Each structure stands twice: as structure tokens, then as C-alpha cells.
């Protein structure tokens, strides 16, 4: 069900990003369509499934376009993110900035933002447009906080949770909220979906950060230990620092850390039990999310939401 609708969203993305007058349109479109999980659009569609509208073809089309705009905002922020993190690979393909330089990657991100806002202006109501603009601001704040704290290893658990709230949970939350609100779901239901999206997003990001300490390159399609190399202090490292700072501190340096030291940090973090500790925090958010989903009115969208959430929050790669 959701899969069929997501194919429609992908068709909208392909059409929206076909623009012969923009020099990097083809390459940017390739990144958008190169096998991202399309999670955020899926959340928009599921949110809409709780509404009174959204069954008619015209409503469906409108909501598909809003879902597409959210995937574009997400990918635009990933492209800028990759510039900031100097990442080489995204979704299995080389990042834009490694192929066309930092400046063109920045512009490609800006172009995606502009395309996205065009769809929003065409299809979303003003309330949704405002929420999306506010989200974009909150991502920038979170990113800049994260960037300013790189290589300092002084992030607190609280600071970390605030960052991932702005960076990840905000968009999951917003996707369910906008979907529900555009399909005219009631205010109480919309708020409940917003909370569920927030908790799913928090658990999702914590698990993502744990997997950076666990997965190998083949399964996650993203190299393990990348956060350590980039000087990012995520939850596993925050907990490990509390337990064995003496062993970790000398290994955590400035930029250009070698692979041997990265491997040592990975081992120490694992030995301290910090990964299990981080997993318990993720479980806390997962439990809250499942409880919130449980209280939603029974419908096909709730089944989808439950099944996707269970899959996301128990993944091991």
C-alpha cells in the first residue's frame, strides 16, 4: 500500500528535478533517487492516512507532492551535511562535493531547497509551509551546534539529545504532523502523531549513531567509525567517556585520525558497555513511541506505522 504510493512520490521527484536549465540537475536528481529509504515521505502518507481527507485522487496527489517536498528538504540537508562532514559516500554513490567541488554541492543543496519550497507553495497550506520553514531553521541550528562542538568531546547527554531532536526527530515529527493536518485529522490526533514521530525519530537517530560503532561498510553502505573520525561525540562516546576517559582522551585528537586509533576507540567504547547503555536510551524512546502508536485509532495507517516503527527500531544494520 505505502510502497505503491511511494512510487508515485518518486515519480513526482523525478519530474520536479528534471530541469535542463540547471547544470547539475541530473546529478542532484540521481542523489535524491538513489535508494534512500524514503522514510519521511512514508511518514507523511501514514499521517494522512489518519485524516478525514486524502482518499480522493486530488487529495492524494496533493499529499504526494508534499511528501516529495519533504524528501527534497531532507536530501538538501544531507548534501550540505556531507560537505560539512567531508563524507565521501552517500547512499552508495560518491557525494556531490567530491565530484563537483564544495561550492557546486552547496548550490545543488540550495537548488533542492528552492525546488522543495516551490512544491510547498503550490500544494501545502500556509500552516504546513510555516512548519517546514521553521524545521529548516531548526536543522541549521542543530548542525551549527554540532559543528562548533566537533573535536571537543565535551557534549553532554542533554546537548546530544537536543541536537538529534533538531536534526532528526523534528522532521519525523513534522512529516506525520503535516500529513495528518493536510488530510484534516483532528487536533488531538495530529498532536498525538507529532509526539509519536518525535519519539520514533529520537530512537532512530540513537540507533543510527550506535550502528556507526558496529556495522561494517557493506551493510550500512557508510563506513563505520565515521563519527569518530569527524570528531563527533554521539551517545556511545558520551557514555564511554564517563567510564574510561583516561583511556579514550589520548586517542581523540584533532582532524586526520588514523584508522588504527579509530579501531582502538571503537574497541574501548564497546568494552565499557557504552553501546548497551546507549541502546537502553533508544529502547526508552522506542517504548514511548510504541505506546503512543497503540493509543491511535485502529486503521490501515496505524498498522503501517507500527510495522515500519518495529522494523526501524530493531534493525541491526
Question: Could you list the residues that contact a copy of itself (CB under 8 A)?
Answer: 19, 21-24, 80, 83-84, 102-104, 106-111, 113-115, 117-118, 120-122, 126, 129-130, 132-134, 136-137, 140-141, 143-145, 147-148
Do residues 281 and 239 lie in contact, with contact meaning Cβ atoms separated by under 8 Å?
A: no
State in angstroms the smallest separation of the CB of 109 from a copy of itself.
8
Nearer to a copy of itself, 145 or 243 (CB): 145
Do residues 278 and 209 lie in contact, with contact meaning Cβ atoms separated by under 8 Å?
A: yes
State in angstroms the smallest separation of the CB of 278 from a copy of itself.
26
Nearer to a copy of itself, 118 or 152 (CB): 118
Nearer to a copy of itself, 107 or 257 (CB): 107
Do residues 268 and 244 lie in contact, with contact meaning Cβ atoms separated by under 8 Å?
A: yes
Do residues 136 and 73 lie in contact, with contact meaning Cβ atoms separated by under 8 Å?
A: yes
State in angstroms the smallest separation of the CB of 90 from a copy of itself.
17
**What nine digits make up the cell of 47?**
499521517
Q: Exposed e or buried b for every residue in 273-310, given b needs 16+ CB within 10 A?
A: ebbebbbebbeebbebbbebbeebeeeebbebbbebbe
Listed in sequence order, the residues at least 6 apart from 3 whose beta carbon sits closer than 8 Å to its beta carbon are none
Do residues 170 and 212 lie in contact, with contact meaning Cβ atoms separated by under 8 Å?
A: no
Nearer to a copy of itself, 19 or 214 (CB): 19
Nearer to a copy of itself, 198 or 213 (CB): 198
State in angstroms the smallest separation of the CB of 224 from a copy of itself.
23
Between CA 73 and CA 266 the distance in angstroms is 32
Nearer to a copy of itself, 137 or 253 (CB): 137
Between CA 16 and CA 260 the distance in angstroms is 45
- Residue 25: HSE in the Cβ half-sphere, 13 Å Cα cutoff: 13
State in angstroms the smallest separation of the CB of 235 from a copy of itself.
22
Nearer to a copy of itself, 105 or 278 (CB): 105
State in angstroms the smallest separation of the CB of 49 from a copy of itself.
25
Nearer to a copy of itself, 21 or 188 (CB): 21
State in angstroms the smallest separation of the CB of 292 from a copy of itself.
26
State in angstroms the smallest separation of the CB of 126 from a copy of itself.
5
Do residues 210 and 282 lie in contact, with contact meaning Cβ atoms separated by under 8 Å?
A: yes
Between CA 190 and CA 188 the distance in angstroms is 5
Give whole-number Cα distances, 3 to 59, 115, 140, 178, 201, in Å. Answer: 18, 24, 31, 19, 21
Instruction: Find how far residue 18's CA is from the centre of its chain.
Output: 24
Amino acid at each position: 500500500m505505502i510502497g505503491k504510493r511511494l512510487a508515485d512520490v518518486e515519480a513526482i521527484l523525478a519530474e520536479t528535478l528534471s530541469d535542463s536549465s540547471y547544470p547539475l540537475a541530473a546529478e542532484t536528481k540521481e542523489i535524491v533517487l538513489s535508494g534512500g529509504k524514503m522514510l519521511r515521505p512514508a511518514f507523511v502518507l501514514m499521517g494522512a492516512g489518519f485524516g478525514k481527507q486524502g482518499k480522493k485522487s486530488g487529495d492524494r496527489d496533493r499529499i504526494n507532492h508534499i511528501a516529495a517536498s519533504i524528501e527534497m528538504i531532507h536530501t538538501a540537508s544531507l548534501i550540505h551535511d556531507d560537505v560539512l562532514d567531508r563524507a565521501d559516500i552517500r547512499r552508495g554513490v560518491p557525494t556531490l562535493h567530491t565530484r563537483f567541488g564544495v561550492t557546486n554541492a552547496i548550490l545543488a543543496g540550495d537548488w533542492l531547497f528552492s525546488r522543495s519550497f516551490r512544491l510547498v507553495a503550490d500544494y501545502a497550506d500556509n500552516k504546513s509551509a510555516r512548519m517546514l520553514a521553521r524545521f529548516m531553521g531548526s536543522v541549521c541550528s542543530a548542525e551549527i551546534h554540532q559543528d562548533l562542538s566537533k573535536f571537543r568531546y565535551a557534549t553532554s547527554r542533554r546537548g546530544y539529545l537536543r541536537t538529534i531532536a533538531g536534526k532528526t526527530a523534528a522532521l519525523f515529527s513534522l512529516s506525520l504532523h503535516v500529513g495528518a493536518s493536510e488530510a484534516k485529522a483532528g487536533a488531538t490526533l495530529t498532536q498525538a502523531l507529532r509526539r509519536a514521530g518525535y519519539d520514533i525519530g529520537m530512537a532512530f537517530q540513537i540507533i543510527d549513531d550506535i550502528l556507526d560503532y558496529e556495522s561494517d561498510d557493506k551493510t550500512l553502505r557508510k563506513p563505520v567509525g565515521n563519527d569518530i573520525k569527524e570528531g563527533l561525540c554521539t551517545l556511545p562516546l558520551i557514555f564511554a567517556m564517563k567510564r574510561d576517559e583516561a583511556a579514550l582522551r589520548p586517542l581523540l585528537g584533532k582532524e586526520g585520525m588514523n584508522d588504527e586509533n579509530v579501531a582502538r576507540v571503537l574497541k574501548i567504547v564497546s568494552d565499557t558497555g557504552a553501546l548497551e547503555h546507549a541502546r537502553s536510551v533508544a529502547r526508552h524512546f522506542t517504548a514511548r513511541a510504541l505506546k503512543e502508536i497503540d493509543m491511535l485509532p485502529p486503521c490501515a495507517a496505524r498498522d503501517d506505522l507500527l510495522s515500519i516503527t518495529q522494523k526501524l527500531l530493531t534493525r541491526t544494520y
